[in-house]
Chains A and B, each alone.
Chain A
């Protein structure tokens, strides 16, 4: 499988407030741009994989998107894994292509929680927990952050270092929703949302869509795709739905997912030039880097300090700004930025980047998927 399939094209909409545009239209715009980038005609597409809008789930949504695209695909649909869905579906598309079930796949994600509803992010975690005020996404991640901080001594400024790195990259990206760089003091002084998480630890809430075209390397050659980026490895992992039932709060499914992706790619953490690490909350970056083996368990805090994850550092991350700065979209933007890094077209380009790792995760770290691309 290594290198058998490629990301042939990428496309996205504007990110931020996009009033009056439904998610079907946003998906179509992202797919239109991705197909144009790949130089592939719409009629060649025989698979459509869709990340459902997190903030408004609709039954058979994948078929609605395919219909909006004017396509009658052989295979496709929606896989309900929250933010891990994007890479999970890219992986599934690659496997389906390798198995001869389809040839050209569109993988697309759209949502409009900024101007539409964002109830999905703010509800109680079950009737039996609402009486305690156990509500919303930030509270659940705060529970993980507290345990990590208490168990390993991870500090507020170490979480801040993640925000500082992502916001600096976002400030250089003209397409980013939030283009304001910050310092550690800004992060420290931003208001507590759910202690220990502050406003600047939390991702944006943005409207927008992004899509990729997946096909075999061979098909991309014969079709004359200008800048295909090979898929070297992928993996996935899952853990318990209910956060209290998590065997260990400070370890995530990234461990299993990353090990599988590295094994398939024949690479290790030391051979990754640049990474796009799912950053819905700053603590997630620390945990994911540990679980992937970039540092030992518990050392994610010290690892992100001192500019190591900033542009010019040992492992630059989230070079388009990530969820904290480019767009709160759950994950597909990170895949697009991996393609730009390999093409050499990022607004925070890592010189000579030959490998890029991308993490996607969903829910409260319930689901995880990993993608490694490289030349």
Chain B
């Protein structure tokens, strides 16, 4: 129980921010490393002097999938549905959803994304921005 309560306490500010429509992440005061998912110590320098920062709401697309099978009864009326893996412009990576009405066929890795929070469901939703055009030089994933 102690462990579960500790994890909840660490994640609570992240969840509260989502409920208020903001995406947040942790930043280390000592080494400036930024990360998600929430944890109690900086995975770079192992220090505990971290604080929450608000993400500015831009990201890029690392990868995505489309579920055709419902792994939980609650998902049966959602299939087929996409799940995105995104990287905030500040660095941390997370799983996100796609805004309704976005064209799956237009998704490309490294696409620039704009984020919005569905506060009611505490979900981060992404849509591609118009500045993203096919054929532009794509940065390599590992260069970040």
> Which residues does A use to contact B, with CB under 8 Å?
122-126, 128-136, 138-139, 142-144, 146-147, 150-151, 191-196, 242-245, 247-250
Q: Which of B14, B15, B72 gathers the greatest number of chain A CB atoms within 10 Å?
A: B72
Residue of A nearest to B97 (CB): A132
B66 and A195 contacting across the interface, CB-CB below 8 Å: yes
Q: Which residues of B contact A133 (CB under 8 A)?
A: 67, 71-72, 75, 78, 81, 83
Quick one: given A151-B141, A244-B93, A249-B141, are A193 and B69 in contact (CB under 8 Å)? yes
> Which residues does B use to contact A, with CB under 8 Å?
11, 14-15, 37, 62-69, 71-72, 75, 78, 80-81, 83, 85, 93-97, 108-109, 121-123, 141-142
A132 and B96 contacting across the interface, CB-CB below 8 Å: yes
B37 and A242 contacting across the interface, CB-CB below 8 Å: yes
B69 and A244 contacting across the interface, CB-CB below 8 Å: no
Give complex CA distance A147, B140 in Å: 12
Which of B66, B68, B71, B95 touches A191 (beta carbons < 8 Å)?
A: B68
Quick one: given A126-B37, A143-B65, A146-B63, are A132 and B71 in contact (CB under 8 Å)? no
Residue of B nearest to A191 (CB): B68
Quick one: given A126-B37, A131-B122, are A249 and B69 in contact (CB under 8 Å)? no
Quick one: given A131-B122, A244-B93, are A249 and B71 in contact (CB under 8 Å)? no
B65 and A146 contacting across the interface, CB-CB below 8 Å: yes
Give complex CA distance A134, B83 in Å: 7
Quick one: given A147-B62, A194-B65, A244-B85, are A136 and B71 in contact (CB under 8 Å)? yes
Quick one: given A131-B121, A248-B142, A249-B141, are A195 and B80 in contact (CB under 8 Å)? yes
Give complex CA distance A135, B83 in Å: 10
B71 and A244 contacting across the interface, CB-CB below 8 Å: no
A111 CB, nearest partner CB in chain B, Å: 20
Quick one: given A136-B71, A150-B109, A192-B68, are A245 and B63 in contact (CB under 8 Å)? no
Give complex CA distance A132, B81 in Å: 9
B116 CB, nearest partner CB in chain A, Å: 14
